Structure 1
Amino acid sequence: MPQNFVPFLKENARKDMIEELNARLADTIDLANAVKQAHWNLKGTGFIGVHELLDDVAEHLREGSDLMAERVVMMGGLAQGTSQTVATKSTLKAYPTDIIDLSEHVAQLVDRFNTYTVTLRKGIEAADEAGDEDTADLFTEVSRTAEKDAWFIGSNSAKAA
Structure 2
Amino acid sequence: METRNVLPADVRRELAAALQPILAEAIDLERQAKQAHWNVKGPGFYGRHKVFDELHELAEDWIDLVAERIAQLGHLTEGTLQRAAELTRLPEFPLGLTSERDNLEQLAKALSAFTAHTREVLKKSEELGDPITADILTEVTRGAEKYLWFVEAHLG
TM-score, normalisation: structure 1: 0.93
1:79-118 mapped onto 2 (5 Å cutoff): 79-118=77-116
Structure 2 Cα separation of the partners of residues 23 and 53 of structure 1:
25
Amino acid at match of 2:139: E
Partner of 2:5: 6
Match of 2:38 among 37, 40, 43: 40
- Give 1:10 shift: 1.6
Deviations 1:80-129 (Å, cap 9, x if unpaired)?
11011011110112111111010011011101111110001001101001
Structure 2 Cα separation of the partners of residues 73 and 4 of structure 1:
9
How many pairs were matched up? 156
1:139-158 mapped onto 2 (5 Å cutoff): 139-158=137-156
Q: Unaligned stretches of 5+ in structure 2?
A: none
- Give 1:45 shift: 2.2
Structure 2 Cα separation of the partners of residues 111 and 73 of structure 1:
29
CA contact (8 A) 1:5 1:74 kept: no
Structure 1 Cα separation of the partners of residues 111 and 30 of structure 2:
10
Amino acid at match of 1:41: N
CA contact (8 A) 1:5 1:75 kept: no
Partner of 2:70: 72
Structure 2 Cα separation of the partners of residues 69 and 52 of structure 1:
26
- Give 1:6 shift: 2.1
- Give 1:5 shift: 4.2
Q: Unaligned stretches of 5+ in structure 1?
A: none
Report % sequence identity. Answer: 35
1:122-161 mapped onto 2 (5 Å cutoff): 122-158=120-156
**Alignment RMSD, CA only?**
1.0
The list of structure 1 runs, each at least 4 consecutive aligned residues, that deviate by more than 6 angstroms after superposition, is none
Structure 2 Cα separation of the partners of residues 19 and 12 of structure 1:
11
